């Protein structure tokens, strides 16, 4: 897997949720904050306003995508002055704050707006720094010529949510991943087009740093050293270490350890592999050394983490 794919897939927890909702003006809907969630809103028909604390209202038109990488609280309304109603789900209800199917808010005669809402949770303790560096929201205006793949993913996802058929349960999570990957691609491309890239946009645009990241992600169990990674990408040890730290935000071995512990957490959540096997998959020959490193990173032993994650997933399934 490449780095961009790993940003979402490795840290994901719980089940994705999505909804197709039609509102008739006047309407205003609050969406409470969901810490650790990645969320989006896509306007399929009509128009509305995006409202967020401390931000100017943003008008959204048909085909616009609003991406909220941190699950920030926000609202949508037909007009910024329209009173807002309570959340669709209670804030303390397990899972996210979005309805899980098709909802038609009938009863009023004003113009209709159709919105596709979606979210799924990431492990808030292991959110990838690429996502952490993003602003609270990204607005991608509808432009099939500029974002043809994103436009296609939105069309397919909207069709599946509006008319569920056999296979929809498998298709929707894949399309959510696809949509989010296209959003991130667009963001990185725009950052590079605006001028000299910084941060993770610069890291993925730098051939040497990107190659080192891909090496770490593809083979976390490899006994990497700074010198070995530098040789892998054709740089001196000192030059590589400087370039990596300045763009990624942490030194090469610091990122390697972070990625190993993130990968280990996913193995513990999604497989029943023995701890010695998980340890070997992320580069630890000793189960004891792995357990110590995991506890430093996650605040609990690997076995405890696995039990906690299983219990959490069970609660999410019961309330999903």
- Please answer whether residues 154 and 56 qualify as being in contact, where contact means their C-beta atoms are separated by less than 8 angstroms: no
Q: Given the structure tokens 């906690």, which residue do they identify?
A: 308
Q: Which residue did the predictor score with more confidence, 266 or 144?
A: 266
The answer to whether residue 21 scores a pLDDT higher than 50 is yes
Domains of the chain: 3-193 (2.60.120.280), 206-315 (1.10.10.60)
Q: Give the other-Cβ count within 10 Å of 214's Cβ.
A: 17
Question: What is the arithmetic mean of pLDDT over 145-163?
Answer: 84
pLDDT tens digits for 164-199?
899 988 888 788 888 888 888 888 887 766 655 667
The answer to whether residue 101 scores a pLDDT higher than 50 is no
Mean pLDDT, rounded, of the chain: 84
Residues contacting residue 169 through CB under 8 Å, at least 6 positions apart: none
Go through 1-19 and write b for each residue having 16 or more CB atoms within 10 A of its CB, e for each that does not: eebbebbbebbbbbbbbbb
Please tell me the distance from the alpha carbon of residue 131 to that of residue 138, in angstroms, as a whole number: 12
Instruction: Outline where DSSP puts E strands in 141-199.
Output: none
Cα distances (Å, whole numbers) of residue 250 to 194, 236, 246, 254: 25, 18, 8, 6
């Amino acid at each position: 897997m490449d780095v961009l794919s790993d940003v979402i897939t490795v840290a994901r927890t719980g089940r994705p949720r999505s909804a197709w909702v039609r509102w008739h003006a006047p309407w205003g809907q609050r969406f409470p904050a969901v810490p650790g969630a990645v969320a989006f809103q896509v306007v399929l028909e009509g128009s509305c306003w995006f409202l967020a604390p401390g931000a100017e209202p943003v008008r959204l038109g048909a085909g616009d995508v609003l991406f909220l990488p941190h699950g920030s609280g926000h609202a949508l309304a037909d007009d910024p002055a329209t009173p807002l109603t309570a959340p669709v789900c209670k804030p303390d209800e397990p899972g996210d704050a979005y309805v899980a199917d098709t909802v038609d808010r009938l009863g009023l005669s004003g113009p209709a707006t159709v919105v596709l809402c979606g979210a799924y949770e990431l492990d808030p303790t292991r959110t990838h720094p690429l996502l952490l560096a993003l602003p609270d929201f990204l607005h991608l205006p509808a432009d099939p010529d500029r974002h043809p793949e994103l436009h296609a993913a939105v069309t397919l996802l909207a069709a599946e949510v509006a008319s569920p058929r056999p296979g929809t349960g498998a298709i929707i999570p894949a399309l959510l991943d696809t949509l989010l990957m296209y959003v991130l691609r667009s963001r990185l491309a725009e950052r590079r087009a605006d001028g000299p890239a910084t941060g993770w946009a610069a890291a993925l645009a730098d051939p040497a740093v990107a190659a080192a990241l891909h090496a770490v992600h593809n083979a976390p169990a490899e006994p990497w050293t700074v010198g070995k990674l530098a040789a892998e990408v054709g740089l001196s040890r000192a030059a590589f270490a400087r370039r990596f730290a300045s763009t990624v935000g942490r030194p090469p071995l610091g990122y390697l350890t972070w990625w190993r512990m993130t990968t280990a957490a996913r193995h513990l959540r999604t497989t029943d592999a023995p701890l010695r096997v998980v340890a070997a998959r992320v580069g630890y020959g000793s189960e004891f050394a792995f357990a110590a490193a995991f506890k430093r990173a996650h605040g609990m032993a690997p076995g405890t983490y696995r039990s906690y994650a299983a219990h959490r997933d069970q609660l999410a399934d019961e309330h999903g």
